[in-house]
Structure 1
Amino acid sequence: MTTRRSFLKPFLAMSSLGFVGILSLIPVTQRAAELVRGLPEASDLPTSVLAALLLVQPTILLLAGVALGVALTEKAGLSSFILRRLRGEPAQASRGAWGSTLLLTLVLASATIAADLVFRSLFPAAFVSITRLDDVTLSERMLGLLYGGITEELMFRFGLLSLLLWAGLRLTAGRFRPFLVWISIGVSALAFAAGHLGVVAGTSPADQGVLIARTLSLNGLLGLLFGWLYARRSLEHAMLAHAFVHVIFWTVTPLFARLGHNLAQ
């Protein structure tokens, strides 16, 4: 009974937290459903039903990620303050670590912005239908903060990274941990980056190579950061960094774009 409670309570609480991010998908799925309804062979289902069906996959991924994380995080030697609190265990964090997490995130996010702008300047035709990192609506900002900062971290770091590391440690009897940590970080980062390839859909075949390279490399770089923070600090550091990345995108991209325009003149 104690073992069941130690799983069920954190699972329900963290799933509920992640579901806040799922709810932030509703405006996006509504627009996607409207586009689907406009296709020649579209289903006769109402738009609201189609939009709800589009939420099924991320919900399943969320629940699977939380279940894996709750079951395996501590077995893999990883940490979550929320998980420990929900289990009634002490969970204290170093105050200085939060500041260094924000600083490191600022550096990596700024590098991502610069690389994205370089891609856009070198291949302008490929980005005609791809909005700039700061060109986002209010609902898209909420999506970045909630779905990105919370739900995706529960899926890819708390769930997938924990599973990979736990499995690797089991298969090697606990040997090669540093190597296995980086393999787990890398694979989960690649999966995270691949999850953003939807941006390529609908673009011309001539542009897809550039967009795939840009999407995988930039999101993969950020995925490495989030994974490293989870492995070295805690899940909450990865969540903070992920949410903060979007804030940097919205605020720093216009500054970099203006600087690049001035330098080009």
Structure 2
Amino acid sequence: MALKFPEGFGIRFLTLFGVGFLGILSLPFILLAQLRNLPAQVSVSPIELAILSLIQPTILLAIAVAIGTFFAPKVGFRSHIANQVAQGKAMLPRLKREFPLAAIAGALIGIAIIILDSFFRLGLGELGDRLAIVQPRTLATTMAGILYGGITEELLMRWGLMTLFVWIGWRLLQRRQGKPHPILVWVAIIAIAIIFGLGHLPVVAAVVPLTPLIITRTIFLNAMGGVIFGWLYWRRSLESAMIAHASTHICFSLVAGLLSAFS
């Protein structure tokens, strides 16, 4: 049986991929500083390594955007950006309604993560200080958090993976009848949030040795945000999840700046 693509699949895909690619383009600005510390015997230049490091996330982004664009309409998930370019539905009025809740939720989860991180640091000592969320942040780090974290990661984790998990459960357990059951959606939200936390372990391992407490900290703190972003994606839109995620990173940078200014 031939696949029946949703209305405007091509323009939806290209638009969301283009938006997500902005986040990928922000990565070299933080990667270059890290790659300059590579051993001298490495023959590849930092610029070449930074460019090569963009290949994998670009491929994953294309896959995730395609999955979400195909399956999201089937399970009731929405993107205002995609709906505007494909159907002409005005995006700004909807974003205006959703923005306050999403921005406040993102800021609150950011504050909660910072507070909980301070408790984890008590048990981690110097290792915890090296991982502290409120370390001084450059403008490049903040922008990468907003663009890659807020936009690209939401396309990967919510639009792509969460949509796929819900669609599979809906098809197998509900035989594509009615809307996906809330329990099914919550299982997907929590599962993807945990996967989101697990995905941060390689970055953490490059900074400090992984211990049970560090693994727990990394998964738990990142999953906290993932649950909120997943709920907003389900109940509001992809853009609400993006706004909340970006707001969390802005909160991290603002708190780090304030602490640095008064220390």
TM-score over 0.5 (shorter chain): yes
Q: CA deviation at 1:13?
A: 1.4
1:181 maps onto 2:180 in alignment: no
Query: Which residue of structure 2 aligns with residue 199 of structure 1?
Result: 204
Query: Which residue of structure 2 aligns with residue 106 of structure 1?
Result: 107
Instruction: Answer whether contact 1:200 1:211 (CA < 8 A) is retained.
Output: no
Q: What secondary structure does 2:154 align onto?
A: helix
Instruction: Answer whether contact 2:233 2:240 (CA < 8 A) is retained.
Output: yes
Q: Distance in 1 between matches of 2:6 and 2:226?
A: 32
Q: CA deviation at 1:96?
A: 4.4
Q: CA deviation at 1:190?
A: 1.3
Q: How many residues align?
A: 254
Q: Deviations over 1:88-130 (max 9, x none)?
A: 1535527544322223223222111100111113322222432
Query: Which residue of structure 1 aligns with residue 230 of structure 2?
Result: 227
Q: What secondary structure does 2:117 align onto?
A: helix
Letter aligned with residue 147 of structure 1: Y
Instruction: Answer whether contact 2:72 2:159 (CA < 8 A) is retained.
Output: yes
Q: CA deviation at 1:153?
A: 0.5
Q: Deviations over 1:24-80 (max 9, x none)?
A: 0012332343344x176x4x3333222211111111111111111111111111111
CA-atom RMSD in angstroms: 2.6
> Where has structure 1 moved over 3 Å in runs of 4 or more?
2-5, 31-36, 94-97, 252-259
1:129 maps onto 2:98 in alignment: no
Q: 1:45 to 1:101 in 2, by over 3 A?
A: closer
Q: Distance in 2 between matches of 1:104 and 1:127?
A: 26
**Percent identity over the alignment?**
36
Query: Which residue of structure 1 aligns with residue 9 of structure 2?
Result: 7
Unaligned residue ranges in structure 1 (runs of 5+)? none
Instruction: Answer whether contact 2:122 2:128 (CA < 8 A) is retained.
Output: no
Q: CA deviation at 1:169?
A: 0.7
Unaligned residue ranges in structure 2 (runs of 5+)? none
* Equivalences for residues 37-52 of structure 1 within 5 A: 38=39, 42=42, 44-52=43-51
Q: CA deviation at 1:256?
A: 8.0
Q: 1:190 aligns with which of 190, 194, 197?
A: 194
Q: Distance in 1 between matches of 2:57 and 2:95?
A: 33
Instruction: Answer whether contact 2:12 2:69 (CA < 8 A) is retained.
Output: yes
Letter aligned with residue 58 of structure 1: P
Of stretches 16-25 and 26-35 in structure 1, the one that deviates more from structure 2 is 26-35
Of stretches 4-13 and 112-121 in structure 1, the one that deviates more from structure 2 is 4-13
Q: 1:239 aligns with which of 225, 233, 242?
A: 242
Letter aligned with residue 214 of structure 2: L
Q: 1:251 aligns with which of 246, 254, 257?
A: 254
Instruction: Answer whether contact 1:117 1:257 (CA < 8 A) is retained.
Output: no
Query: Which residue of structure 1 aligns with residue 147 of structure 2?
Result: 146
Instruction: Answer whether contact 1:29 1:55 (CA < 8 A) is retained.
Output: no
TM-score, length basis structure 2? 0.86
Q: Distance in 2 between matches of 1:60 and 1:154?
A: 13
TM-score, length basis structure 1? 0.86
Query: Which residue of structure 2 aligns with residue 61 of structure 1?
Result: 60
Instruction: Answer whether contact 1:200 1:212 (CA < 8 A) is retained.
Output: no
Q: What secondary structure does 1:73 align onto?
A: helix
Letter aligned with residue 228 of structure 2: L
